[in-house]
């Protein structure tokens, strides 16, 4: 959410930003917001004037009574009543206007960074750099679930009977590999100075409103019936929510946190599901990175965060590339975003395994996360998040890149301690 003062003083900048995101239907919101803001300030001014008059008149009543001017005192009392009635009316108007203003403000997208490439959708994202040499072996690579089945590692038919499409049972070495990737990611991030956190897996609606756009919420979140609770789609939600309504001592910044959680998403309604695959699923687990920092430090942390993901995948000998997300592919709260994609030898292309985002002060403004500087002045924090690893999707890249011609799967040295010393998985 933008600062209303910024919108008021820079309406054309806000409109041009909307055009860059190809959301022209939102252009009228800018003028509507400015009109509501003007009306809101007028109401507040009248309220202040009425309250000042009420105080003045109330003080005069006692004086009039002492002077025996009962009729004038009664008139003054009547004026106080009229004043109170008008205050009550304006207070209700103020509530309605502010509610409408906030609702519209939360739909206006954040100002994107000048470096973001302009494009309509993810087809116009821009490749930045490749890490590792993508290889296509001289033998056929089966579909990832077939690799898992030969290792007795997955049962999607049973999961379908139990929970429906988009769920899975991971078994034996594949289940262990799944957990090993997460445990290794945890220690990988701790070694880089991040504090490990296990957060709540449910959050209240006030936090949901603060961390994501309405469109994202509708497509992603599962609501708990009869409760003001949602299942998290990523631990970023509850991790940033931890700071709601807080004023942070500047000396404590930056907060560099790495969190584990299961994640729950309505992927079917939003994207469609490959019934046999584990690419788009309703539940998965993830090791996340979260940073809360001073505004001037967020560009630096943005680069550090995506580099961590690249380094993690390269330590597992998986080729990756980075893609700069174009303006039309950015969620409304994001200032800048970069995807990390892993190489798929079977598909002979890269696919997304992580996403790094700088949200500027958007989440902090919505959630009221402020920082108290050494000079005593308060300002909004900046927040960032990034995926370190999210299995079982990343297992697709792992299995395809480490599959051997005989159907065995090699385990990189970095992961062997988490696999009980195993160097290879044999069908």
| Span 185-194, pLDDT tens digits | 999 999 999 9
- Please, what is the end-to-end C-alpha distance for the chain in angstroms? 52
Per-position DSSP letters for 148-211, written without gaps between them: HHHTT-EEHHHHHHHH-TT--EE-HHHHHHHHHHHHHHHHHHHHTTPEEE---SEE-HHHHHHH
Q: Which of 49, 52, 30 is nearest to 41 (CA)?
A: 49
Separation of alpha carbons 335 and 358, rounded Å: 6
Name the CA dihedral angle for 268, 274, 275, 278, rounded to a multiple of 10 degrees. Answer: -90
Per the CB < 8 A criterion, the answer to whether 80 and 54 are in contact is yes
147-158 pLDDT tens trace: 999 999 999 999
Per the CB < 8 A criterion, the answer to whether 425 and 177 are in contact is yes
**What's the pLDDT score for residue 273?**
44
321-339 pLDDT tens trace: 999 999 999 999 999 999 9
Catalytic positions: 265, 280, 352, 355, 393
Query: What residues contact 178, with CB distance under 8 A and at least 6 apart?
Result: 170, 285, 391, 392, 395
**What's the pLDDT score for residue 51?**
84
**What's the pLDDT score for residue 269?**
42
Quick one: which H or E segment has residue 405? none
Helix axes 27-66, 11-20, angle to 10 degrees: 150
Separation of alpha carbons 100 and 371, rounded Å: 28
Coil, helix or strand for 127?
strand
The sheet that has 255-264: what strands, in order across it? 126-131, 320-324, 336-344, 349-358, 382-389, 283-293, 255-264, 195-197
Token representation of residue 356? 């790094």
Per the CB < 8 A criterion, the answer to whether 327 and 119 are in contact is yes
Name the CA dihedral angle for 320, 289, 17, 95, rounded to a multiple of 10 degrees. Answer: 150
Q: Which of 228, 223, 226 is nearest to 264 (CA)?
A: 223
Classify domain 4-105 at the CATH class level. mainly alpha
**What's the pLDDT score for residue 271?**
46
**What's the pLDDT score for residue 268?**
52
> Count of CB atoms within 10 A of residue 109's CB?
23
Per residue of the chain (427 residues), what is the pLDDT tens digit? 899 999 999 999 999 999 999 999 999 999 999 999 999 999 999 998 988 887 777 768 777 676 777 777 777 778 778 888 888 999 999 999 999 999 999 999 999 999 999 999 999 999 999 999 999 999 999 999 999 999 999 999 999 999 998 899 999 999 999 999 999 999 999 999 999 999 999 999 999 999 987 677 777 899 999 999 999 999 999 999 999 999 999 999 999 999 999 999 986 544 444 446 898 889 999 999 999 999 999 999 999 999 999 999 999 999 999 999 999 999 999 999 999 999 999 999 999 999 999 999 999 999 999 999 999 999 999 999 999 999 999 999 999 999 999 999 999 999 999 999 999 999 9
Query: What residues contact 222, with CB distance under 8 A and at least 6 apart?
Result: 230, 231, 264, 265, 266
Largest CA distance in the chain: 108
Q: Bridge-partner residues for 385, per DSSP? A: 290, 357
Helix axes 172-191, 298-315, angle to 10 degrees: 140
Radius of gyration of the chain (CA): 28
Domain map (residue ranges) of the chain: 4-105, 122-425
Q: What is the DSSP letter of 281?
A: -
CATH fold group of domain 122-425: BirA Bifunctional Protein; domain 2 (3.30.930)
Name the CA dihedral angle for 135, 140, 143, 149, rounded to a multiple of 10 degrees. Answer: -110
Same fold across 4-105 and 122-425: no
């Amino acid at each position: 959410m933008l600062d209303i003062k910024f919108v008021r003083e820079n309406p054309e900048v806000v409109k041009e930003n909307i055009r860059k995101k190809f959301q022209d239907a939102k252009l009228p919101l800018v003028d509507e917001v400015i009109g509501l803001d003007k009306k809101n300030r007028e109401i507040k001014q009248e309220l202040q004037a009425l309250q000042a008059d009420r105080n003045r008149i109330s003080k005069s009543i006692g004086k009039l009574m002492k002077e025996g001017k009962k009729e004038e005192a009664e008139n003054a009392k009547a004026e106080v009543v009229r004043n109170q009635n008008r205050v009550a009316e304006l207070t209700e108007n103020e509530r309605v206007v502010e509610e409408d203003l906030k609702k519209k403000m939360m739909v206006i997208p954040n100002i994107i960074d000048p470096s973001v490439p302009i494009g309509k959708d993810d087809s116009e994202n821009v490749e930045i750099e490749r890490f590792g040499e993508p290889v296509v072996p001289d033998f056929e690579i089966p579909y990832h679930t077939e690799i898992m089945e030969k290792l007795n590692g997955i049962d999607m038919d049973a999961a379908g009977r139990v929970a429906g499409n988009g769920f899975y049972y991971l078994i034996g070495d594949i289940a262990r590999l799944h957990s090993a990737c997460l445990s290794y990611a945890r220690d990988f991030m701790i070694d880089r100075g991040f504090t490990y956190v296990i957060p709540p897996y449910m959050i209240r609606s006030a936090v949901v409103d603060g961390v994501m756009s309405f469109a994202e919420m509708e497509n992603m979140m599962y609501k708990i019936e009869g409760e003001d609770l949602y299942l998290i789609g990523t631990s970023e939600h509850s991790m940033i929510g931890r700071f709601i309504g807080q004023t942070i001592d500047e000396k404590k910044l930056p907060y560099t946190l790495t969190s584990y959680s299961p994640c729950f998403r309505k992927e079917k309604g939003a994207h469609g599901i490959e019934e046999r695959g584990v690419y788009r699923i309703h539940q998965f687990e993830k090791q996340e990175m979260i940073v809360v920092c001073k505004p001037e430090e967020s560009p630096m942390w943005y680069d550090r965060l995506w580099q961590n993901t690249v380094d993690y995948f390269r330590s597992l000998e998986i080729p990756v590339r980075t893609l700069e997300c174009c303006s039309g592919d950015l969620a409304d709260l994001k200032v800048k975003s970069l995807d990390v994609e892993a190489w798929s030898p079977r598909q002979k292309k890269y696919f997304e395994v992580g996403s790094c985002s700088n949200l500027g002060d958007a989440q902090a403004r919505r959630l009221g996360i402020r920082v108290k500087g050494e000079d005593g002045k308060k300002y909004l924090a900046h927040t960032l998040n990034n995926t370190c690893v999210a299995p079982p999707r990343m297992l697709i890249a792992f299995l395809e890149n480490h599959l051997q011609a005989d159907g065995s799967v090699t385990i990189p040295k970095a992961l062997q301690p988490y696999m009980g010393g195993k160097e290879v998985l044999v069908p």
